Structure formats: C-alpha cells, structure tokens
Amino acid sequence: MPRIVKKAEERKQEIIAAARELFKEKGQENVTMQELMDKLKIAKGTIYHHFSSKQDLLEAIVEDLIDEELKKKKKLLKSRQCRNLSALGKFKALVTEDTMAEDNEEILDSLHHHENAEMHARQLGRYLVELAPVFAAVIAQGCEEGVFTTECPLECAEFMLAGFQFITDLGFYPWTEAQLHRRMKAFPVLLESLLNAPAGSFGFLNEK
C-alpha cells in the first residue's frame, strides 16, 4: 500500500486538531509530544518540523480557537436570527452565544501558567484587535438608532473588551470573588455611561 504524503498545511492543521482534542481532554501539561505522535501515527521529525515545542503548539491551538470564535460571531451577525435585530439585540446575542471559555477551559487555563504569560498577553491582544471591530459595528448601528451616542465606536469596543478581560481574568491577577462580583454588577452601568445608553440597557449581562 503506497505511503500517503500530505501537504504541509494539511498536516499542520491535522496536528493542531489532534493536539486540541488531547489538550481539551487532559490539559496541556498532561499531554506529551510522544502521545500526540502516537495518536496521529507520525514520526518525531514530522511534528517538530511544524512545531518546535509543546508551547509553540499551544499557541497555534489558541490562534485556531480565536479564529474559530471570530468566524462564529461574524456568521451569527449575518444569520437570519440576528440580521434584523436592533443593536442591543445583536449585542446580547454576541455575549450570550459566547461559549469559547466554557468549551475550552482546560486549554485556556494553560495560558495562566507562568511560562505562558507572554503568549497569553500576545494572544489576548490579537483577539481584542480582531473582535473589537465586530462590536464596533454593532455600536455604530446603535448610534444610528439613537440608542447609543459616541464618536468613537471602535475605541469604545476596545476599552470595553480590554477592561472586562483584565478585571475578570484570574490569569492576570488572583482577584477575589468579592472583587469579581462587584465589577460584574457594575459593568452594565459602566457600559451605559460609556455609550450614553438608556438605564438598564445592558442588564442582560448579569443574567448570563
């Protein structure tokens, strides 16, 4: 039977998919490169041709997760479900349909390890840069509807996402439950102030 030779990008994606499955099941620190090689039935040289280390592989998986989530959100906004919604309706859909953290807890927890701190910051920055325009478009729609008032939709989205991520992510700092609860309770009010929205507009954020 002739040996199957796969294209480099196809093989790379196959490795990412298999590693993502293992990391999700067991956590990155509990998976060895040999285990991944055995799962894929590939040689050591093949996997190290694409990824120099397990940390390098983790970053590729996180990038894959981010790209997948961004595509999901953009598809959601274009769907029949969201197409004719108001800005607040779309905002709620984007937030309530976000399950990336819950679905990939074992993988994302690996970013909180000390040796992955730089990667964590880099990938979070990438996520915010890509995600902010999605929310900015919704904010701009809200301005057209007269629900929001701002001359800086993109910057509002950037501050909103960056602020929320930092003050709720235990990977950056071991916030207490009391601190997290206080901030989550205040976040809808802060958004209303940032976007000059009517009182109660973002109450759904504390329902999630």
- Residue 182 maps to which CATH number? 1.10.357.10
Q: What is the mean pLDDT of residues 71-75?
A: 93
Q: Mean pLDDT across the chain, nearest whole number? A: 90
Q: What is the mean pLDDT of residues 147-176?
A: 93
pLDDT at 144: 97
Q: Residue 140 sits in which domain range?
A: 54-206
The answer to whether residues 23 and 72 belong to one domain is: no
Q: What is the mean pLDDT of residues 137-141?
A: 97
The answer to whether residues 5 and 59 belong to one domain is: no
Least confident of 48-52, 133-137, 169-173, 184-188: 169-173
Q: How far apart are CA 185 and CA 203, in angstroms?
A: 9
pLDDT at 208: 55
Residue 121 has pLDDT above 60, yes or no: yes
The answer to whether residues 44 and 62 belong to one domain is: no
Helix pair 117-145, 87-96: axis angle to 10 deg: 160
Alpha carbon of residue 173 to chain centroid: 19
The answer to whether residues 119 and 41 belong to one domain is: no
Q: What is the mean pLDDT of residues 101-108?
A: 81
The answer to whether residues 45 and 87 belong to one domain is: no
Q: How far is CA 57 from CA 60, 62, 201, in A?
A: 5, 9, 41
Residue 152 has pLDDT above 90, yes or no: yes
Residue 114 has pLDDT above 60, yes or no: yes
Residue 6 has pLDDT above 70, yes or no: no
Q: How far apart are CA 73 and CA 77, in angstroms?
A: 6
Q: What is the mean pLDDT of residues 142-160?
A: 97
The answer to whether residues 58 and 19 belong to one domain is: no
First to last CA, the chain: 54
Percentage, residues of the chain above pLDDT 70: 97
The answer to whether residues 87 and 176 belong to one domain is: yes
The answer to whether residues 12 and 46 belong to one domain is: yes
The answer to whether residues 142 and 187 belong to one domain is: yes
Number of domains in the chain: 2
pLDDT at 1: 37
The answer to whether residues 110 and 139 belong to one domain is: yes
The answer to whether residues 62 and 42 belong to one domain is: no
